Amino acid sequence: MAAVQESHCSEPNIYLDIKASLEKHKLIEMLSFGEIKRRFKRTILGPFWVTLNLGIFIFAMGWLFASLWNTDMKSFLPFFSSGFIVWMLISTMMSESCHTFTSYESVLQQISLPYMLLPIVTVLRNLIVFFHHLVIFIIIILLFDVKINLNTLLILPGLALLSLAGISVAFILGSVCARYRDIQQVIQSFLQLAVFVTPIFWPPEQLGHKKIIFVTFNPLYHCINIVRKPMMGEAPELLSWIVVVLIGIFAFYIASTIFKKKSQDLVFWL
């Protein structure tokens, strides 16, 4: 713990911490891939077991909800699958962000590490799993003739914006949950509700005049939209880009404030 205290005795600076974190890119890579390998040690399919389970769920629920909404599977399943795959990325990033620091408690108490390194690891690990899940959507593209065009390339800036915002959110949730462990349960409850009030299982058009509440003013919808729309060969609305950029700016401001005022106390909360 002495090493950590000595490392953070000067005025905390989140920019210098991010720079120091990125300089340890090999450690980031090792921690990100290492955790995935540890979870699926001695399995044949490895992380593709999660992908297989998710694929079965998507096809089963896609058929069910297409029947309930009286919608053609050819149009509904690409919409549902792309939205749910992106939702899995966002929800798991938020859920695992609660453990950003507590899961490395023994390490942080013995070794001096840049604090922003672990939020980066959390986001990168979930991005790796997301690309495994894209196998499901590739199958759906082949089965249902989903459009692939220049709009598809917008997946990259969409994922970049989500990742940048996700790093700040991971630091915020990781810090708050280290101090107040009950917050983790609040986040889990929020995610369980959010998946049903966000247009993932149902098309936004079905809401009519209520669309403004559950879609326009729903930040999670816009976070999903900037990746889901390109996956379906469509360009996201400008509003979605603006909302996600504002979320990223606001999250970074909160993260930098917490870092400046509380980063020196973080190790004592573990």
Domains: count for the chain: 1
What pLDDT is recorded for position 5? 41
pLDDT in tens, 214-262: 788 899 999 999 999 999 999 999 999 999 999 999 999 999 999 999 8
Q: What is the mean pLDDT of residues 106-121?
A: 89
Nearest to 79 by CA among 199, 235, 209: 199
Nearest to 145 by CA among 225, 72, 85, 207: 72
Nearest to 94 by CA among 224, 217, 5: 224
CB count within 10 Å of CB 95 equals: 15
Measured CA to CA, the distance from residue 227 to residue 243 in angstroms comes to 13
For residue 6, pLDDT over 50 is answered with no
Q: What is the mean pLDDT of residues 85-104?
A: 94
Q: Tell me the chain's radius of gyration from C-alpha atoms.
A: 20
Q: What is the torsional sign of CA 258, 264, 268, 270? A: positive
pLDDT in tens, 125-160: 999 999 989 999 999 998 888 888 999 999 999 999
Q: Which value, to the nearest 10 degrees, does the dihedral of the CA atoms of residues 48, 54, 56, 61 take?
A: -170
Q: What is the mean pLDDT of residues 180-208?
A: 89
What average pLDDT does the chain have?
88
pTM flag (> 0.85): yes
For residue 34, pLDDT over 60 is answered with yes
Q: Which domain holds residue 27?
A: 2-269
CB count within 10 Å of CB 48 equals: 16
What is the distance of C-alpha 124 from the center of its chain?
A: 9
Cβ-proximal residues to 93 (8 Å cutoff; 6+ apart), any chain: 122, 123, 126, 166, 169, 170
Single-letter amino acid code for the residue at 155: I
Measured CA to CA, the distance from residue 20 to residue 103 in angstroms comes to 21
Q: What is the mean pLDDT of residues 153-175?
A: 96
What pLDDT is recorded for position 170? 97
